[in-house]
């Protein structure tokens, strides 16, 4: 009969260990001490990060795209995620500090200390610099508020258990660069945009059964999460355009074959077109450094 108390103790210890392992891990205190955000710089960082592309209201056009009321739906194998209101209002992030935004973007942790789902691409934003976050925060405070309430995600059990996301983060939340080594300043800037801000890997990299990006097949293409079609391989094995042709595509949306961009990539191109030409050239230079994957 002594085995029962021992098993009970083991069960309690295992539960305590799991609770500790799955706990949200915010950024260290003081991460943003002494950092002042620049809204002008933040406008470019916000554009590179594609914030409006996901968080504007469905079918918004023109200036309405900067009203970050949320509501767009993103189907996935785990359920449908609904983009929340992130405008500077009480229904959005109006009361958030820079640290609150940093924890959301870089650690996937809410101001209340809960896990966000990785539909928010914090697995990529984890590589952002604190200055980037401060700049975005300063810029977002200048945007129009919306009183639209955020809609809940549409997920089934067990994906409704947010605490389990802590295990996912333990496996996949990695703030190291995928492409490392001897890079020029231009290639480093392209890496910053492609791997962190524009989070290209979130769509163009295959995922495993738990939804984590397979970094060994970086940018090698993947099924569309909506279940319709595939997202192309943009490693040099398949993307054979010249760097100039890549820059033209990211500027105009036209391929060398005179096809035009479509789907959600149209938003990406619009964002890229809003950046300095040097940034588009940097992305093209970075893509040339990515190992080819057949």
CATH architecture of the region 185-289:
Orthogonal Bundle (1.10)
Residue 233 has pLDDT above 50, yes or no: yes
Contacts of 188 (CB under 8 A, 6+ apart): none
**Overall size of the chain counted in residues:** 294
pTM of this prediction exceeds 0.85: yes
Helix (H, G, I), strand (E, B) or coil at 79: strand
Higher per-residue confidence, 117 vs 20: 117
Indicate the pLDDT class of residue 15, thresholds 50, 70 and 90: very low
**pLDDT tens-digit series, residues 200-215:** 999 999 999 888 999 9
Report the chain's mean pLDDT, rounded to a whole number.
91
Q: In b/e form, how buried is each residue of 135-154, taking b as 16+ CB within 10 angstroms?
A: bbbbbbeebebbebeeeebe
Predicted pLDDT of residue 53: 95
pLDDT band of 45, cuts 50, 70, 90:
very high
**Per-residue model confidence (pLDDT) at position 91:** 96
Residue 28 clears pLDDT 90, i.e. is over it: yes
pLDDT of residue 4: 55
pLDDT-based confidence at 76, cuts 50/70/90? confident
DSSP states of 164-219: GHHHHHHHH---S-SS-SS--HHHHHHHIIIIIIS-THHHHS-B-TTS-B-GGGTT
Domain ranges of the chain: 24-172, 185-289
Residues 48 and 272: their CA atoms lie apart, in Å, by 6
> Based on C-alpha coordinates, what's the Rg of the chain?
20
What local confidence, expressed as pLDDT, does residue 270 receive?
Answer: 95
CA angle 53–56–60, rounded 5-degree value: 100
Percent of the chain predicted with pLDDT > 90: 79
């Amino acid at each position: 009969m002594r085995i029962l108390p021992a098993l009970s103790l083991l069960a309690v210890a295992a539960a305590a260990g799991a609770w500790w392992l799955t706990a949200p891990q915010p950024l260290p205190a003081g991460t943003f001490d002494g950092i002042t955000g620049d809204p002008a710089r933040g406008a470019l960082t916000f554009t590179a990060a594609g914030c409006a592309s996901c968080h504007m209201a469905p079918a918004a056009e023109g200036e309405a795209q900067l009203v970050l009321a949320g509501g767009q739906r993103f189907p996935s194998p785990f359920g449908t995620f609904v983009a929340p209101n992130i405008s500077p209002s009480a229904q959005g992030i109006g009361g958030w500090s820079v640290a609150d935004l940093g924890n959301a973007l870089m650690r996937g942790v809410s101001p209340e200390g809960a896990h966000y789902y990785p539909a928010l691409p914090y697995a990529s934003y984890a590589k952002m610099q604190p200055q980037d976050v401060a700049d975005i925060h300063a810029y977002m405070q200048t945007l129009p508020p919306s009183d639209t309430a955020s809609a809940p995600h549409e997920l089934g059990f067990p994906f409704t258990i947010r605490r389990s996301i802590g295990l996912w983060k333990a496996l996949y939340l990695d703030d190291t660069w995928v492409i490392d080594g001897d890079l020029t300043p231009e290639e480093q800037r392209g890496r910053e945009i492609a791997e962190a801000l524009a989070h290209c890997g979130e769509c163009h990299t295959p995922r495993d059964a738990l939804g984590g990006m397979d970094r060994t097949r970086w940018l090698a293409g993947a099924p569309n999460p909506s279940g319709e079609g595939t997202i192309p391989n943009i490693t040099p094995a398949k993307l054979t355009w010249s760097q100039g042709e890549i820059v033209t595509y990211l500027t105009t949306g036209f391929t060398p074959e005179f096809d035009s961009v479509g789907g959600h990539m149209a938003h990406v191109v619009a964002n890229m077109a809003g950046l300095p030409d040097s940034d588009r050239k940097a992305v093209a230079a970075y893509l040339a450094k990515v190992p080819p994957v057949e």
